[in-house]
Amino acid sequence: MGSIAIFMSSILFLSVSWRATSQLQVEERVFLRCLSRQSSRRGEILQNVYTPKSSEYISHLEFASKNPRWFNETSQRPFLIVEPVEETDVWTAVSCSKRHRLQIRVKSGGHDYEGLSVRSVSPFVMIDLSNLNSIDVNLTDETVWVQAGATLGQLYYHIANKSKTHAFPAGLCQGLGLGGHISGGGLGTLVRKYGLASDNVIDARFMDVDGYFFDRNAMGEEIFWALRGGGGASFGVILAWKLKLVRVPEKVTVFSFRRRLDLGDLSLLQKWQNTAHKLPRDIFIRVLVQKIGNGRGDASIVQVTYNGMFLGPAAQLVELLREQFPEFGLETEDCFRAPVKDSNCSSMPCIKKECYEVSWIQSVVFFSGGKTDQPADTLLGKFKNTRFFNKGASDFLKAPIPNKGWRMIQKMFLSEDGPIMIIDPLGGFMDKIGEHVFPFPHRKGNLFNIQYLINWFGDNSAQVAEKHLAWKRSLYKKMAPYVANSPRTAYFNYKDLDLGENDKYYNYTVGKVWGEKYFKGNFERLAKIKGGIDPQNFFRNELSIPVLK
């Protein structure tokens, strides 16, 4: 009797599995037929659509998944991938997704730390905007129209091809897509001089849930306000931005000074914490904290790198640093020769200081991890990540971290394999804008933004991943006494699912738990705008703005 039951159960299981697979195949065919019929380009749109059966599907998904932590979770992969080549293709994909009750996730670049544009527990269509990447620089009115699928590297390269004295204030990573990066804020080396990327948006092209296309005048100032820092994916699809270019000198100076974190003498680090946000707006000095090993079996150390840019020639930077940070010992000639090897920051040889007087576009190459003599077209490169995993989080500081906090940080860093903490100074221009002028509220009174990253390579088994994630959560908890609170705040572009109950992301009350961390008092206004433009909450993910009517 037991054998018969097992046999019948097996038959039933196979029958259900066959029906589910058959139904999915029918849905796929029906969806593709919908795309073809709805599109003004008919069958042409299907040339840029990839189903799980397509030979190119995995490759396109790998390029989109900048953080491959979830790549083996096949149940969370897209139902299919659409890569529009015209704006109307976006509406075709959205329209068919609505008709067949599929979610959509829009991808414009990376990082996407939580993979919210490439995975979902519900069946979804991924719209990858990377083909919508046209860039039109107009030096007459000092603006640029750029489509949302273009990357920061592409934007910076095109600006530099037109002018040696224009730039745009946005992030440091060349592969970031402009659709998401700007709609979440956009923090980079020019933040103290010119603010965030979203502060410098003057128009946009936007598509709502009903397929209507808007510019700033047509959408109205409330929606336009929400898009500039409130997360565009919550409200519709950002198709393009009109950006205000900013002026930079023909020569800027980039630099790095590396030091060992010495708990016996934290005077330089404390001086930087008390000074960096108050320096002249032309200088930006961030700090990178990393665990370093020399590969020869010696004990690892925690290294502090003072990394920055000055909007001017090396001689002026040297004069400023002699006054503010004589500890760096920088001389003008240091900026025109190869960096000197030194053993000052630990027992192992390391580079004590680097300094280069370069064009603005070469400073972009430097901050992207390249060398200043590399050609600018390296910013146009694409990369596929299949072995490098990470988890991010963020905080804002309203007061310097005390010495006991640095002791805790050193202890935590020495207990983990690949930790990084990046601390960016604010102040300057950021102090001039009130916290309700844009959705990004972290303005005057916030001295620094902290980004926490834990990286690991190769092995992404559940046990290994959980070990690293537990470390990150422990550090985040232990940082609580030293960071902004009531609420404890965070930067929306460094998304962190640990901040809320993400299985209830459609609920406004629950959403406030993480929403006010990102947006403070602006969260309610964003939710009301969401309720007006997308009342059925079609555009949603685990960290999207919920509906408030």
Q: What is the pLDDT of residues 407-440, one digit of tens each?
A: 999 999 999 999 999 999 999 999 999 999 999 9
> What is the pLDDT, as a whole number, of residue 507?
83
Of 162-166, 278-282, 335-339, 450-454, give the lowest mean pLDDT range: 335-339
What would the mean pLDDT of 202-220 be, rounded to a whole number? Answer: 98
Q: pLDDT, tens digit, for every residue of 141-190?
A: 999 999 999 999 999 999 999 999 999 999 999 999 999 999 999 999 99
Convert the pLDDT of each residue in 244-292 to its tens digit: 999 999 999 999 999 999 999 999 999 999 999 999 999 999 999 999 8
Cα gap 196→240, rounded to integer Å: 17
What is the C-alpha separation between 352 and 342, in angstroms, rounded?
5
DSSP strand E in 245-336: where? Answer: 246-247, 252-260, 283-292, 301-310
Which segment of 106-115, 134-143, 417-426 scores lowest on mean pLDDT? 106-115
Burial (CB < 10 A; 0-12, 13-18, 19+), residue 533, is buried
pLDDT score of 334: 93
In this predicted structure, the answer to whether residue 2 has a pLDDT above a threshold of 50 is no
Q: Is the pLDDT of residue 85 over 70?
A: yes
pLDDT bucket at 382, cuts 50 / 70 / 90: confident
| CA distances from residue 82 to 272, 285, 303, 491 in whole angstroms, order as listed | 47, 41, 44, 29
Name the nearest CA neighbour of 492 among 433, 445, 536, 451: 451
- Minimum mean pLDDT range among 11-20, 285-294, 402-411: 11-20
Contact 315, 333 (CB under 8 A): no
Give me the helices (H) in 111-151, please: none
pLDDT band at 12 (very low <50, low <70, confident <90, very high): very low
**Token couple for 400:** 């310097």
Q: What share of the chain is helix, strand, coil (3-state, %, to 5)?
A: 40, 20, 40
The domains of the chain, with CATH numbers, are 37-128 (3.30.43.10)
Q: Lowest mean pLDDT: which of 329-338, 343-352, 432-441?
A: 343-352
Above 70 in pLDDT, residue 14? Answer: no
Burial class (CB in 10 A: 0-12, 13-18, 19+), 297: exposed
pLDDT attached to residue 24: 53
Question: Do residues 406 and 412 make contact, with C-beta atoms less than 8 angstroms apart?
Answer: no
CA angle at residue 181 from 179 to 185, to 5 degrees?
120
